[in-house]
């Protein structure tokens, strides 16, 4: 959107009152030639405009033929027009009301508007304060627009990125562990252990279809809040959504049993929960099948790829948001690692990828 001024000028603007020149001495100079009819002007009364002369009856609007004598007129393309015809033919029109624009105007998406028409009907409006947006603004994944000054001042849903308001997110809520969740996401949030268990079984079956088979008999699930997850996390500075820990019994040179504990944040929306669960179940598979001390980028990239496998055919907008976060995560392990694994699987296929993971700690050459 741009603000500009239109000075009511197209070409050369002339605002004159006709001067009627009366020549008393008809012999003082050659008789003038009427620019309209190209004949001599014998009458002492005639019209002069710039360097042109006209019979008084021949100084006419080029569009409607109305006399311009003693009237306001305008010049465009070397012709003269009355004010009405000039406005109709040459002055830009507001794309909303259709009336000529004089003075300041607004340009948006290649169209121009009166200032009042733009602000009332066209201007994007902030979804938080409902005021017209003039200048730069923020637009979220969902197409909601906000004044830039709201950035960092108003709460954002942890799980969809919407600013929390009645108009954009049906209100919102703050958990005791300081997470914000909007009204839309909270409707499908998983808060109960039996819901989480049911989802884990469903997701394990889906992953099994890709050859990722997990023994749930050795796997326990707990829903926790952010504070508990931070206590369990090896990196207190990482804002985890889930975490997998394992305990193993071994004899010299051989692990004889492994038990796994998956911890996932309570209160996440269904699709975010599913993505996190797939990620953590892939950790279980890697702990069970792959060498220890694997490259963190390969480990986390594979786990995020499991989330992608689970969600890739779901066309819901929330899933699109979750996958967009995966694709654009700047983290060297979770984001870059995922993109490298995705490239790897695209070239070698899922079966070969899983076989590779069982015998290697690092990415193959070229990835």
Q: Per-residue pLDDT for 276 more than 60? A: yes
In b/e form, how buried is each residue of 52-69, taking b as 16+ CB within 10 angstroms? ebbbbebbbbbeeeeebb
Give the side-chain half-sphere CA count within 13 A for 330. 0
Sign of the CA dihedral running 268, 270, 275, 277? positive
**Could you write out the DSSP letters of every residue in 102-122?**
-EEEEEETTEEEEHHHIIIII
Is 140 in contact with 163 (CB distance < 8 Å)?
Answer: yes
Q: Which pLDDT value is given to residue 112?
A: 81
pTM of this prediction?
Answer: 0.70
Sign of the alpha-carbon torsion through 297, 302, 307, 311: positive
Q: Which residue has the higher pLDDT, 11 or 348?
A: 348
Where are the CATH 2.10.110.10 domain residues in the chain?
2-89
Say if residue 7's pLDDT is above 60.
Answer: no
Instruction: Give the Cα separation of 15 and 73 in Å (integer).
Output: 6
Q: What's the whole-number mean pLDDT along residues 206-234?
A: 94
CA 126 – CA 109 distance, rounded (Å): 18
Report the candidate in 232, 220, 228 with the shortest Cα–Cα distance to residue 266.
228
Looking at the chain, the whole-number percentage of residues with pLDDT higher than 90 is 61
Does residue 34 surpass a pLDDT of 90?
A: yes
DSSP bridge partners of 221: 262
Q: Radius of gyration over alpha carbons of the chain, in Å?
A: 37
Quickly name the fold that domain 190-357 has: Collagenase (Catalytic Domain) (3.40.390)
**What average pLDDT does this structure show over 230-259?**
75
pLDDT above 90 (res 11): no
β pairing state of 219-224 and 254-265? parallel
Give the residue, 167 or 346, on which the prediction is more confident: 346
Parts of the chain belonging to CATH 3.40.390 = 190-357
Out of 3.30.420.40, 1.10.230.10, 1.20.120.920, 2.10.110.10, which CATH number does the structure's domain 2-89 have?
Answer: 2.10.110.10
Least confident of 121-130, 217-226, 340-349: 121-130
Q: What is the pLDDT of residues 102-121, one digit of tens each?
A: 767 677 777 888 887 887 77
Which range among 61-75, 250-264, 320-334 shows the weakest confidence by mean pLDDT?
Answer: 250-264
């Amino acid at each position: 959107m741009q603000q500009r001024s239109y000075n009511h000028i197209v070409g050369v603007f002339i605002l004159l009152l006709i001067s009627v020149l009366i020549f008393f001495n008809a012999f003082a100079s050659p008789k003038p030639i009427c620019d309209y009819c190209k004949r001599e002007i014998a009458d002492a009364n005639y019209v002069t405009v710039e360097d042109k002369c006209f019979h008084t009856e021949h100084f006419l609007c080029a569009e409607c033929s109305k006399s311009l004598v003693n009237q306001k007129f305008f010049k465009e393309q070397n012709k003269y027009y009355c004010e009405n015809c000039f406005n109709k033919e040459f002055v830009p029109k507001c794309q909303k009301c259709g009336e000529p624009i004089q003075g300041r105007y607004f340009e948006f998406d290649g169209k121009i508007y009166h200032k009042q028409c733009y602000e009332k009907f066209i201007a994007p409006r902030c979804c938080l304060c409902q005021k017209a947006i003039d200048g730069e603004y923020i637009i979220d994944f969902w197409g909601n627009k906000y004044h830039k000054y709201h950035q960092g001042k108003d709460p954002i849903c942890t799980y969809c990125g919407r600013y929390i308001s009645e108009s954009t997110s049906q209100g919102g809520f703050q958990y005791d562990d300081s997470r914000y969740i909007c009204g839309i996401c909270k409707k499908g949030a998983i808060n109960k252990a039996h819901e989480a268990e049911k989802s884990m079984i469903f997701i394990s079956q889906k992953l099994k279809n890709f050859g990722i088979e997990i023994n749930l008999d050795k796997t326990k699930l707990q829903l926790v809040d952010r504070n508990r997850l931070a206590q369990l996390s090896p990196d207190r500075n990482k804002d985890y959504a889930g975490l997998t820990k394992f305990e193993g019994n071994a004899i010299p040179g051989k692990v004889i049993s492994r038990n796994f504990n998956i911890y996932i944040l309570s209160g996440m929306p269904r699709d975010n929960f599913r993505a996190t669960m797939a990620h953590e179940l892939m950790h279980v598979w890697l702990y069970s099948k792959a060498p220890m001390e694997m490259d963190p980028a390969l480990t986390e990239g594979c786990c995020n790829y499991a989330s992608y496998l689970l969600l890739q055919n779901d066309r819901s907008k929330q899933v699109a948001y979750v996958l967009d976060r995966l694709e654009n995560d700047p983290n060297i392990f979770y984001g870059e690692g995922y993109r490298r694994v995705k490239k790897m699987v695209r070239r070698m296929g899922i079966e070969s990828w899983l076989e590779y993971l069982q015998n290697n700690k690092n990415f193959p050459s070229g990835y």
